[in-house]
Chain A
């Protein structure tokens, strides 16, 4: 669990990791040592105040200098919201996240359709399954050129879509994508806020975390 200055959702994401039966390992942005983690989560928030562009400064943090090569070698990495922006800035995922179409910061529970269930982060879902998960962002509109978008569709790299149309102007209603190898996933909505009906709209988000835990534990949680 990486914490940058300005990260907000690391506590909720760490709680989701515990709910899924694993131990969250805190990594500070200044850490180069990844401390033997099996997977990494880049949480939501406003890393480095979103200065320059969302995620642009975080990309050059010491922890990312270790995480980027590890991700290229296959370490599962989930970037949520600001974490997704960091992964795009680090070129671990194609495209970019830009300002919402109508400039409003959006905070709403959305219906998602799982489009790609085959990654370490989505194995516990079925393709076509619907999830209710909160989205909250000001710069959540996914953009990429048409060739990149076509390639994402062709390779099945879109892992989730907004079922009722993108609230933020995302191209082709994309809510989340994976890299070519499938180990790096970026997601704009916040599954860590939907792991328990007591504190969220559903428990639909827990599957992202149990998927990753099962990947390493070899047993269903």
Chain B
């Protein structure tokens, strides 16, 4: 068994009000050096078998089809372990 991690982030040009809210809370807490927060999602996929090219291709297809909305989000894939 292997694991593939998919990170999904809003595209840079899409406004992220959640990230803004976290930023303003972090300022209230005194973390004055933090200048920007963007909030995203992480998906951990457990795969039956090795994280070979075929498995990564399937994970990529799933990410493009379901995990991320290409209109507003972008994703990156990495294999873990």
Contact = CB atoms under 8 A, between A and B. Distances in A.
Contacts of A169: 15, 17
Contact of A96 (B17, B21, B72): B72
Contacts of B21: 103
A68 interface: no
A99 B72 contact: no
B66 interface: yes
B17 A102 contact: yes
A138 to B, nearest CB: 11
Most chain B C-beta atoms within 10 Å of own C-beta, residue among A53, A88, A145: A53
B69 A96 contact: yes
Interface in B58-81: 66-67, 69, 71-72
Contacts of A103: 17-18, 21
Give the contact-size bracket for chain A.
Answer: 20 to 34
Contacts of A145: 13
A68 B68 CA distance: 20
A82 to B, nearest CB: 15
A53 to B, nearest CB: 6
B29 interface: no
A89 B21 CA distance: 26
B66 A143 contact: no
A60 interface: yes
B12 to A, nearest CB: 12
Interface of A: 52-53, 56, 60, 88-89, 94-96, 98-103, 141, 143-145, 169
Interface of B: 10, 13-15, 17-18, 21, 66-67, 69, 71-72
21 contacts: A52-B66, A53-B69, A56-B69, A60-B66, A88-B71, A95-B71, A96-B69, A96-B71, A98-B14, A99-B17, A99-B18, A100-B17, A101-B15, A101-B17, A102-B17, A103-B17, A103-B18, A143-B72, A145-B13, A169-B15, A169-B17
